């Protein structure tokens, strides 16, 4: 796991940065200056945007106001298009990418992008699978926590139908869910990986525990319960 680079932050840690700063680093992801490497732009973004997500994620009214939704979608696309070779990317950079994705999908526009952006689900799915195969605790936690932000909306005024569609996509593959559960088995047996265990439990809590389970389809609810029950010997 990597520490926040406080030298990259334009303000004290106990206060959120201004709207202009957030917008600037969103643009950095989309149009990275030639003098800045993409992984540096990701690090700067993470250092200046709260882990809970963008504070200014909704477009304000006015002729000259920025289209925040377009900026967020553009940033998500940039993160996936410029992600680099997922097999050889250093662990700390891959972890940073998941932290950035988590910050973006915590917004309404980012949350909806999971089903609206072309090929977003497919690219994210492959990225998550490759990440979990590394069996690195920092990456596993960042990866599953990102999935949690796609399972349960982290923003206000969310759409229940959108939540249902996201869950339906995330819970559609049994092998994928088994892969998400795999680190839980290992860490429970060894008594390690508290953050990884916590994030995995959150993911499945959003699937089968009320009130979150109200948006889980019955067929997928049963499949998840069956998978979880298979862990009982642990």
Any domain includes 138: yes
Any domain includes 1: no
Any domain includes 113: yes
**Which band of pLDDT confidence, cut at 50, 70 and 90, is reported for residue 93?**
very high
Residue 224: predicted pLDDT:
95
The count of residues in the chain is 234
Q: Which domain covers residue 168, as residue numbers?
A: 6-229
Q: What is the three-state SS of the chain? A: CCCCCHHHCCCCCCCCCCHHHHHHHHHHHHCCCCCCCHHHHHHHHHHHCCCCCCCCCCCCCCCCCCCHHHHHHHHHHHHHHCCCCCCCCCHHHHHHHHHHHHHHHCCHHHHHHHHHCCCHHHHHHHHHHHHHHCCCHHHHHHHHHHHHHHHCCCCCCCCHHHHHHHHHHHCCCHHHHHHHHHHHHHHHHHCCCHHHHHHHHHHHHHHHCCCHHHHCCHHHHHHHHHHHHCCCCC
Any domain includes 121: yes
Which pLDDT tens digit goes with each residue over 161-173? Answer: 999 999 999 999 9
The number of distinct structural domains making up the chain is: 1
Q: Pick from 184, 171, 81: which is nearest to 141 by CA? A: 184
What is the arithmetic mean of pLDDT over 137-151? 96
What is the arithmetic mean of pLDDT over 109-126? 93
Residue 234 or 207, more confident: 207
Any domain includes 40: yes
Which pLDDT tens digit goes with each residue over 38-69? Answer: 999 999 999 999 989 998 887 665 544 568 88
| Structure-block tokens of residue 220 | 């997928």
Any domain includes 100: yes
Any domain includes 234: no
What is the arithmetic mean of pLDDT over 78-85? 91
Q: Is the peptide bond before 87 cis (omega within 30 degrees of 0)?
A: no
């Amino acid at each position: 796991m990597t520490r926040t680079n406080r030298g990259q932050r334009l303000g004290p840690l106990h206060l959120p940065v201004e709207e202009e700063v957030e917008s600037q680093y969103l643009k950095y992801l989309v149009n990275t200056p030639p003098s800045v490497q993409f992984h540096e732009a990701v690090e700067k973004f993470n250092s200046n945007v709260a882990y809970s997500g963008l504070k200014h994620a909704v477009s304000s009214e006015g002729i000259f106001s920025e289209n925040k939704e377009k900026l967020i979608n553009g940033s998500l696309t940039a993160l996936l298009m410029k992600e680099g070779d997922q097999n050889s990317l250093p662990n700390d950079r891959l972890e940073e990418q998941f932290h950035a994705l988590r910050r973006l999908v915590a917004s309404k526009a980012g949350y909806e992008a999971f089903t609206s952006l072309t090929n977003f689900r497919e690219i994210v799915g492959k990225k998550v699978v490759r990440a979990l195969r590394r069996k690195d605790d920092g990456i596993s936690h960042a990866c599953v926590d990102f999935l949690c932000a796609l399972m349960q909306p982290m923003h206000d005024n969310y759409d229940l139908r959108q939540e249902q569609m996201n869950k339906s996509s995330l819970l559609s593959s049994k092998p994928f869910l088994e892969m998400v559960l795999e680190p839980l088995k290992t860490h429970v047996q060894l008594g390690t990986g508290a953050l990884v265990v916590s994030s995995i439990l959150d993911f499945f809590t959003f699937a089968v525990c009320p009130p979150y389970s109200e948006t889980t389809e019955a067929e997928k609810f049963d499949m998840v319960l069956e998978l979880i029950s298979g862990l009982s010997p642990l």
